[in-house]
Protein backbone atom coordinates (compact mmCIF):
# COMPACT_ATOMS: atom_id res chain seq x y z
CA UNK A 1 0.00 0.00 0.00
CA UNK A 2 1.15 3.54 -0.84
CA UNK A 3 0.34 6.35 1.60
CA UNK A 4 0.07 9.85 0.15
CA UNK A 5 -0.20 12.83 2.47
CA UNK A 6 -2.57 15.58 1.34
CA UNK A 7 -2.24 19.20 2.41
CA UNK A 8 -3.30 22.57 1.12
CA UNK A 9 -3.40 26.22 2.04
CA UNK A 10 -0.41 26.25 4.37
CA UNK A 11 0.05 30.00 3.69
CA UNK A 12 3.70 29.74 4.85
CA UNK A 13 2.76 28.06 8.15
CA UNK A 14 4.07 24.51 8.43
CA UNK A 15 2.74 23.32 11.77
CA UNK A 16 4.45 20.51 13.75
CA UNK A 17 1.10 18.66 13.68
CA UNK A 18 1.23 18.66 9.88
CA UNK A 19 4.76 17.29 9.84
CA UNK A 20 3.71 14.49 12.22
CA UNK A 21 0.69 13.71 10.02
CA UNK A 22 2.95 13.33 6.98
CA UNK A 23 5.53 11.04 8.61
CA UNK A 24 5.56 7.63 6.96
CA UNK A 25 4.01 8.87 3.70
CA UNK A 26 5.68 7.78 0.47
CA UNK A 27 4.53 10.97 -1.29
CA UNK A 28 2.98 14.34 -0.48
CA UNK A 29 0.50 16.38 -2.50
CA UNK A 30 0.23 20.10 -1.75
CA UNK A 31 -2.84 21.63 -3.41
CA UNK A 32 -1.61 25.23 -3.44
CA UNK A 33 -1.37 28.46 -1.46
CA UNK A 34 2.10 27.48 -0.32
CA UNK A 35 3.25 31.14 -0.14
CA UNK A 36 6.98 30.50 0.44
CA UNK A 37 9.37 27.98 -1.16
CA UNK A 38 10.71 26.93 2.26
CA UNK A 39 7.45 25.05 2.86
CA UNK A 40 8.13 22.76 -0.12
CA UNK A 41 11.77 22.32 0.89
CA UNK A 42 10.71 21.14 4.36
CA UNK A 43 8.12 18.78 2.90
CA UNK A 44 10.69 17.27 0.51
CA UNK A 45 12.70 16.17 3.54
CA UNK A 46 9.80 13.81 4.35
CA UNK A 47 8.83 12.52 0.88
CA UNK A 48 8.67 13.55 -2.79
CA UNK A 49 6.20 16.42 -3.29
CA UNK A 50 3.74 17.16 -6.07
CA UNK A 51 2.54 20.76 -5.70
CA UNK A 52 0.35 23.16 -7.64
CA UNK A 53 0.31 26.92 -7.56
CA UNK A 54 -2.53 28.59 -5.66
CA UNK A 55 -3.98 32.08 -6.05
CA UNK A 56 -1.71 33.36 -3.23
CA UNK A 57 1.49 31.89 -4.70
CA UNK A 58 3.35 34.71 -6.42
CA UNK A 59 6.86 35.74 -7.25
CA UNK A 60 9.66 34.18 -9.22
CA UNK A 61 9.76 30.91 -7.27
CA UNK A 62 6.03 30.27 -7.84
CA UNK A 63 6.23 30.60 -11.63
CA UNK A 64 7.98 27.23 -11.77
CA UNK A 65 5.05 25.53 -10.02
CA UNK A 66 2.26 24.36 -12.36
CA UNK A 67 -1.41 25.25 -11.86
CA UNK A 68 -2.42 21.65 -12.60
CA UNK A 69 -0.56 18.38 -12.00
CA UNK A 70 -1.36 14.78 -12.81
CA UNK A 71 0.33 11.77 -11.26
CA UNK A 72 -0.28 8.06 -11.28
CA UNK A 73 0.23 6.01 -8.13
CA UNK A 74 0.07 2.30 -8.81
CA UNK A 75 -3.09 2.14 -10.98
CA UNK A 76 -4.73 5.34 -9.68
CA UNK A 77 -4.55 8.55 -11.74
CA UNK A 78 -4.72 11.73 -9.61
CA UNK A 79 -5.38 15.30 -10.74
CA UNK A 80 -4.25 18.16 -8.48
CA UNK A 81 -5.56 21.73 -8.89
CA UNK A 82 -5.87 24.49 -6.31
CA UNK A 83 -9.42 25.65 -7.04
CA UNK A 84 -12.09 23.13 -8.05
CA UNK A 85 -13.48 25.80 -10.42
CA UNK A 86 -10.25 25.48 -12.46
CA UNK A 87 -10.74 21.81 -13.38
CA UNK A 88 -10.63 22.02 -17.15
CA UNK A 89 -11.30 18.37 -18.06
CA UNK A 90 -13.97 15.79 -17.37
CA UNK A 91 -12.04 13.68 -14.83
CA UNK A 92 -14.02 10.49 -15.44
CA UNK A 93 -13.52 10.54 -19.20
CA UNK A 94 -9.79 11.20 -18.71
CA UNK A 95 -9.38 8.13 -16.49
CA UNK A 96 -8.80 10.27 -13.40
CA UNK A 97 -9.86 8.46 -10.23
CA UNK A 98 -9.01 11.18 -7.65
CA UNK A 99 -9.13 14.99 -7.81
CA UNK A 100 -7.29 16.84 -5.02
CA UNK A 101 -8.11 20.53 -4.53
CA UNK A 102 -7.69 23.22 -1.92
CA UNK A 103 -8.67 26.90 -1.90
CA UNK A 104 -11.92 26.75 0.12
CA UNK A 105 -10.20 25.67 3.37
CA UNK A 106 -13.18 23.30 3.84
CA UNK A 107 -12.22 19.63 4.27
CA UNK A 108 -14.26 17.41 1.97
CA UNK A 109 -14.40 13.89 0.59
CA UNK A 110 -17.04 13.38 -2.08
CA UNK A 111 -17.41 10.67 -4.72
CA UNK A 112 -19.25 11.56 -7.92
CA UNK A 113 -19.50 9.41 -11.04
CA UNK A 114 -16.65 7.18 -9.90
CA UNK A 115 -14.30 10.10 -9.17
CA UNK A 116 -13.15 10.80 -5.62
CA UNK A 117 -12.92 14.55 -4.87
CA UNK A 118 -10.75 15.36 -1.86
CA UNK A 119 -10.06 18.73 -0.30
CA UNK A 120 -7.79 18.27 2.73
CA UNK A 121 -8.81 21.69 4.06
CA UNK A 122 -6.28 24.16 5.39
CA UNK A 123 -3.15 22.96 7.14
CA UNK A 124 -2.03 26.55 7.77
CA UNK A 125 -3.63 29.50 9.52
CA UNK A 126 -7.17 28.95 10.75
CA UNK A 127 -9.78 30.70 8.61
CA UNK A 128 -13.10 31.61 10.19
CA UNK A 129 -14.22 28.63 12.27
CA UNK A 130 -12.96 26.01 9.83
CA UNK A 131 -10.75 23.23 11.21
CA UNK A 132 -7.01 22.94 10.66
CA UNK A 133 -6.80 19.67 8.76
CA UNK A 134 -4.95 17.43 6.33
CA UNK A 135 -5.76 14.28 4.40
CA UNK A 136 -4.42 10.93 3.39
CA UNK A 137 -4.81 8.70 0.34
CA UNK A 138 -4.08 5.00 0.66
CA UNK A 139 -3.58 3.33 -2.70
CA UNK A 140 -3.47 -0.42 -3.27
CA UNK A 141 -3.43 -1.34 -6.96
CA UNK A 142 -6.55 0.25 -8.46
CA UNK A 143 -8.18 0.79 -5.05
CA UNK A 144 -7.99 4.11 -3.21
CA UNK A 145 -9.29 5.23 0.16
CA UNK A 146 -9.29 8.86 1.30
CA UNK A 147 -9.43 10.11 4.87
CA UNK A 148 -9.28 13.49 6.62
CA UNK A 149 -7.72 14.34 9.94
CA UNK A 150 -8.41 17.39 12.06
CA UNK A 151 -5.01 18.53 13.35
CA UNK A 152 -6.12 21.14 15.91
CA UNK A 153 -9.30 21.56 17.90
Segment 99-115 mean pLDDT: 96
Share of the chain above pLDDT 90, in %: 95
**pLDDT number for residue 129:** 87
**pLDDT number for residue 50:** 98
> Is 150's pLDDT higher than 80?
yes
- Of residues 127 and 15, more confidence is placed in 15
For 55-93, write each residue's pLDDT tens digit: 999 999 999 999 999 999 999 999 999 999 999 999 999
CATH number at residue 67: 3.60.21.10
- Rounded to the nearest integer, the mean pLDDT of the chain is 96
Reference 58, options 79, 77, 32; nearest CA is: 32
Distances (CA, A) of 1 to 22, 49, 81: 15, 18, 24
Split into its structural domains, the chain has a count of 1
**pLDDT number for residue 152:** 82
Residue 123 belongs to what domain range? Answer: 2-152
DSSP secondary structure string, 57-92?
Answer: --SHHHHTS-SEEEEEETTEEEEEESSGGG--S-TG
For 109-144, write each residue's pLDDT tens digit: 999 999 999 999 999 998 888 899 999 999 999 999
Amino acid sequence: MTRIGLISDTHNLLRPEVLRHLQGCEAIIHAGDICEPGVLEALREIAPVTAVRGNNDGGEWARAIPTHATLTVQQVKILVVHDQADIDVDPGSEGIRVVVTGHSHKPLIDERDGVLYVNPGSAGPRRFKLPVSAGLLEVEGAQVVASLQQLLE
